[in-house]
Each structure stands twice: as structure tokens, then as C-alpha cells.
Chain A
Amino acid sequence: MPEPRPRIRCHLVAEGSAWALEETLFTLVAQRGVRLEVQVHPAPGLEDAARAACERLQGLGSRVHLVVGSPSGLGPVDRPAAISVWRAGVVATPDHFQRAMAALEDGAMVTVAPSRRMVLAPDGDGPARVVRKTRRWTSPLPSVDELQRESGFLSRCLARRSVAPLWVPLRPDEHRRWAEELWSRAQPLALDGPPTVDLPVGGTATPAVALRDTLAEMRYQGPRVLERAAPLTFEQTRRLFHRLRGARPR
């Protein structure tokens, strides 16, 4: 029997560190609840690392297929339901595509996932060390200008195939153009809930956006300070804490 078509095709644009690429792939192979094909597009010099990483991680996720470059033919990998463009270095929780896909099935054309920004520091010849993670504020109907501060911003988006541009932005500088084309066809919708994507930090925020990011982070960190200082009071307000985080009460 032919294999069912992938619901989602993810174009992973890779440049820079081979560690960042492998870290991203390792979180993508663990995606649940969707059938996913990841096409890795390595920058010159990263081809061997990309092939090695795909070979090493292929088959770890039962419904995720990894391939370097464009597939040679059509067949089962053709006509996915949704398209995503990723940057190496961005990591996702295993429910990332499942949550985005559910929103598309509910009528959204393009989704923008809730995210955090990671401050990274080099650590010898190994993977970068995460120094800090902070919540990223996102407006309900985000613009390209609002999102493009992080170079991996497109990783937050999942677009129905019918509205996704038909070309792949292989160079990082093409991502803004791809996003503008996508935005011109449909207004993306920001998803609620806990972050599903962590992006390497980049760019500087306007004071208003920086303030909103800070408030988003305080909304999360405030209850944690209470948890450490007064666990009994925290326990009594646990339901409120989960509502503030945007999660279901436990």
C-alpha cells in the first residue's frame, strides 16, 4: 500500500553551525500527531553534515521523514496540506505542528506559534550554551515587521499550501520576501498557549515591544518566584497560575 501523503512539508534552511542543524532536526523528528517531511537545504560547506545528521536521525520518529535538498521525484511526498520554512537553530516542542495543524483545520490560513527567545553563548567547538530564555510577546494578528526581529521567525509559521508561495527561500535574506508574499495572501493568526518554538535571539526591539516582552516574561516568572518563596500560597493559587500561563489548569 502506498504511504499516506505527508500532511506537512518543512523546508529547513541550514547555515552556520552543524550542531544547530542537528539540534533542530532532533526536535523535528520527535513531532507527534502529524506526518512530516523535512527537506534540509544546507548552505555550501554544510552538505556533508546535513547528510550525516539526516542519516543518523532518520527513523527515530515514526512519522517523520528527513531528506537533504529537493526530492528527486513527486509521488508520496507531493502535495502536502501545509508548508513551513525553518531555520537551523530553532527548536520546537513535539506538539508544535500538531497544534498549528489543528488551527489550520479549524479555518486558519496561516498560524504563528507562541515562542521564546534564546540568548546563546558559544561553548568551544560544541553546541552553543543557552544562557537565557524569555517569553516573546506576539499580537493576535502579527505583522512581518513585528516578527522579523528574530532571523528564524518563519519557523513559527505554518501555512496552508494554497496560500504558501511556491518557491523556497533558500537564502536567509529571502525569508522576509517570502513572508511578505505570504502575508499578502492571508493574515496570519497568532496561536495561544504555552510556547512551542524557541528562537535564537536577534535584532533589537522597539521600546514598546521590549516592554511587552518583559511583561510577557513577568507573567510567567512572577508565579515561579512565589512558588519558591511561598509554596503553600502558590499551591492555593495554582489554578490562577496556569490561567496566566495560558495552560489548562492541572
Chain B
Amino acid sequence: MTRVRLGVVLYRNSLEELATLVRSLQRLEQREVTVEVRFIDNSPDDGLAAPVVAAFGSRAYRRTPSNLGFGAAHNLEMTEAVRDRAEAYVCVNPDALLHPAAVDELWRVAIRPGTWLVDGRTLPEEHPKPYTAGEGETPWCAGTLLLIRAEAISELGGFDENFFLYAEDVDLSWRVRAAGHLTRTAPRAWIHHWVEHRPLSLERRLEVLRSAAYLGHKWGAPAFARRYERLYRVLAGHRPRLPAVTPISDPARRVADFSHGVRFARSRW
């Protein structure tokens, strides 16, 4: 059976939240694929290790020496997954509840020709970016529940580690499309993820703005980048530290869409 590695990046999550996710991962149906679960913990201590090790064994847990951020931590695991001959890597948010059929359903869509990325449907608050009826083609795939084919990892190297948090999924999706492959939504792959009630800390808002500015510079949208840099400066009191980047040139950058703010696609609502 096809092997899929599923990775969850942790950072100071609540034990209750983690228990919910672990419970749902233990109930994955695995009719189409065999799922190997791994947790990559960016936290400063190993306080989250116990429930993971109890459920999936000590191989399923590793702690990073420092907080690597979302993309770099997933890259660590997905690179190993490809080396171990997994056919796909699935990112799952730690503050979520996975439907038992979710990974099987992602895989069913991932095997359609040309498909390199597949995301799931988030309930109860679905992302409003569009997907086409039947084919499920979507402008970009969200990292909340995201399957990445091994070919995409080998050829594109996973996430751009210059993003610490946010927008690395948009960037990866655009790189996949620029390389001539497809990004799809699997409408039957469900993840329960709800963050509407959570206050967005200043720290996290700054990460959103920094990522938006970097994405703008990278994909040749300087006006968009400056707008979010300016906002960052107002909130933080200083300019964001952004790595130097050579903007992606035409025709690859034509897949990028900066006309909908930080949603990066037309909204259904």
C-alpha cells in the first residue's frame, strides 16, 4: 500500500488541543494509504512529548533545537519522508481535529494526473478561496491540511524557509503551478479547525505582515510588498527584516495573484 508521512509541527500547544488531534489521528481509516505519523516540536521543552509517544511511539516525536518556524520544521520531516520512499507528505495543523477519512480522500485526489498539491476542506469555517466543481482546481492550497506529492518535494525543495509563519503555502502553491502542475482541493477531506475566536497577538500579526511583504518582493509585486512593510513599521516601530530576494520573473510570476489582499484569490464570500 502507498506510504504517506503525516507531519504536525508543535509550538507550545495546549495539552487538551494535542489530545484532541492525537485521538483523531489514531482513528484514521487508512484504506488507501498507510500513514506514518510524526510530530516536530519547536517548543523550548519536551512538555508535549508524552501524549505523542504514548500514542505513536518514540519515533513519532522529535524536538528541534530552536523554533524553526512552520516551513523549516515541515521541510525537515518531509525531506526524510521522501528519502524513506514515502509517496507524499501531509501537513496537519496541531490545533485541529482530522476526519477519519481525510488522508485517504486527499490521496484519491492526489493521484489525478498532474496533481502535486491537495488541500482539504476546513470546517466549520471553510476557507473562502474558490475551487472548481468536479475537478477541485484551486488557485492555492492551504497548509492547514495539505498533501504534497514526493515529486514536488524532490523538485521544489518543500517550503521556502524565509517564511517563518504564514504564506509559505501560497508561495509553494504558486511554485507548483509555475512549474506546470496542479493544485487541487479535496472536498471530501475534512479537517475541523476553528480559530475565529482566538485573539491574534501582535507578534502573529507582524508575522502575517512580514510574510506578505516577503511574498510581494519574491513574486514581483513591489507595491503590495511596500504596503505591508509600511503597516509592519507602524505596528512594530521598525522595518521588518526581510532576506534579499531576486524577484521571480515572467512567465512564472503570472500565476501570482495580489489583487485580493492577503487572501491571494477571489473570495466566495
Q: Enumerate chain A interface residues (CB-CB to B < 8 A).
A: 19, 23, 26-27, 29-30, 56-57, 59-62, 91-95, 121, 123-124, 126-127, 129-134, 194, 198, 227-229, 231-232, 235, 248, 250
Contacts and interface: CB of A to CB of B under 8 A. Distances in A.
B268 interface: yes
Contacts of B24: 60
A19 B101 CA distance: 13
A57 B269 CA distance: 29
A228 B261 contact: yes
B83 to A, nearest CB: 33
A244 to B, nearest CB: 15
Nearest to B16: A62
Contacts of A30: 97, 124, 192, 194
A93 B269 contact: no
Contacts of B65: none
Nearest to A198: B124
Most B-side CB within 10 Å, residue of A26, A57, A61, A127: A26
B188 A127 contact: yes
B1 interface: no
A134 B269 contact: yes
Contact of B196 (A91, A93, A121, A198): A93
B133 A124 contact: yes
B138 to A, nearest CB: 12
Contact of A26 (B190, B199, B234): B190
Contacts of A56: 27, 29, 100-101
Contacts of A123: 133-134, 187
Contacts of A60: 20, 23-24, 27, 97, 100
B39 interface: no
B235 interface: yes
B3 to A, nearest CB: 23
Contact of B231 (A95, A229, A231): A231
Given A30-B192, A56-B100, A60-B97, A91 B261 contact: no
Given A228-B260, A231-B227, A59 B187 contact: no
Contacts of B187: 123, 126-127, 129
B260 A232 contact: no
Given A62-B19, A133-B268, A250-B199, 6 more contacts: A93-B197, A94-B192, A124-B134, A129-B133, A231-B231, A232-B231
Nearest to B128: A133
A194 B196 contact: yes
A5 B131 CA distance: 43
Bin chain B's interface residue count.
35 or more
Contact of B188 (A59, A126, A134): A126
A198 B196 CA distance: 15
A235 B200 contact: no
A29 B100 CA distance: 13
A28 B209 CA distance: 34
B76 interface: no
A87 B150 CA distance: 41
Interface string B31-63: 000000000000000000000000000000000
Contacts of A59: 23, 27
A26 B133 contact: no
Contacts of B123: 23, 26-27, 91
Given A126-B187, A132-B269, A232 B230 contact: yes
30 contacts: A26-B123, A26-B190, A27-B123, A27-B124, A29-B97, A30-B97, A30-B124, A56-B27, A56-B100, A60-B23, A60-B27, A91-B123, A91-B124, A93-B125, A93-B194, A93-B197, A94-B192, A95-B197, A124-B133, A124-B134, A126-B188, A129-B131, A130-B126, A130-B268, A133-B269, A198-B124, A228-B261, A231-B231, A232-B227, A235-B234
7 nearest A-B pairs in the assembled complex, by CB-CB distance: A228-B261, A133-B269, A91-B124, A250-B199, A27-B124, A30-B192, A123-B133
A120 to B, nearest CB: 11
Contacts of A121: 133
